[in-house]
Structure 1
Amino acid sequence: MSLNIPVIRLLVVKDWQLFQKQLALYVLAGLVALCFLGLAKPWAFYVGSLMLIIVMVSIACFSIATSLMNERKEKTLAFVMSLPVSPLDFTVAKLVGNLVTFAAPFLVILGGTVAVVLFTPLPDGLVVYSLLIFAYILFAFCVSLAVAMSVESEGWATFAMIGSMVMINPFIMGMSQITEINDRVSVDAIVWTPEALAVLATLLGLGAAILGITTWVQARKPAFY
Structure 2
Amino acid sequence: MNTFMLTKLITKDWHLYKEYMLGYALLGIIAAGLMTVQSYTVYYLGFVGLITVLIGSSAHLAINTVVTEKKEYQLSFIMALPITPLDYALSKMLGGLAIYLVSWGIIVVSTTLIIYFSHMPNGMIPMLLICALEILVATTIILCAGILSGSMAVTIVTMIILNLFFNMFIFAVAGIKSIGSNIESETADFNSTVYSIIGVEIFAIAIVLAVTIFIKSRKACFL
Letter in 2 for 1:129: M
Q: CA deviation at 1:40?
A: 4.5
Larger deviation: 176-185 or 211-220?
211-220
- Map 1:190-205 → 2, pairs under 5 A: 190-205=188-203
Q: CA deviation at 1:23?
A: 1.6
Measure, in 2, the Cα distance between the counterparts of 1:95 and 1:171: 24
Unaligned runs of 5+ in 2: none
Measure, in 1, the Cα distance between the counterparts of 2:105 and 2:151: 30
Q: State the aligned residue count.
A: 223
Q: Which runs of at least 4 in structure 1 moved beyond 3 Å after TM superposition?
A: none
Q: Deviations over 1:80-122 (max 9, x none)?
A: 0001111121111111221122110000001001101110111
Q: Which residue of 1 aligns with 2:76?
A: 78
**Aligned mate of 1:174, from 143, 152, 172:** 172
- Map 1:73-152 → 2, pairs under 5 A: 73-152=71-150
Letter in 2 for 1:224: F
Q: Which residue of 1 aligns with 2:28?
A: 30
Measure, in 2, the Cα distance between the counterparts of 1:171 and 1:78: 41
Measure, in 2, the Cα distance between the counterparts of 1:5 and 1:214: 19
**Aligned mate of 1:52, from 50, 64, 73:** 50
User: Is 1:165 aligned with 2:163?
Assistant: yes
Q: CA deviation at 1:193?
A: 2.3
Q: Which residue of 2 aligns with 1:66?
A: 64
Q: Which residue of 2 aligns with 1:4?
A: 2
The TM-score normalised by the length of structure 2 is: 0.95
| Preserved contact between residue 91 and residue 219 of structure 1 (Cα < 8 Å) | no
- Aligned Cα root-mean-square deviation (Å): 1.3
| Preserved contact between residue 66 and residue 150 of structure 2 (Cα < 8 Å) | no
Measure, in 1, the Cα distance between the counterparts of 2:163 and 2:217: 27
| Preserved contact between residue 182 and residue 189 of structure 2 (Cα < 8 Å) | yes
Matched residues, percent identical?
A: 24
Measure, in 1, the Cα distance between the counterparts of 2:11 and 2:126: 34
Letter in 2 for 1:207: I
Unaligned runs of 5+ in 1: none
Q: CA deviation at 1:64?
A: 0.1
| Preserved contact between residue 23 and residue 105 of structure 1 (Cα < 8 Å) | yes
Measure, in 2, the Cα distance between the counterparts of 1:157 and 1:70: 11
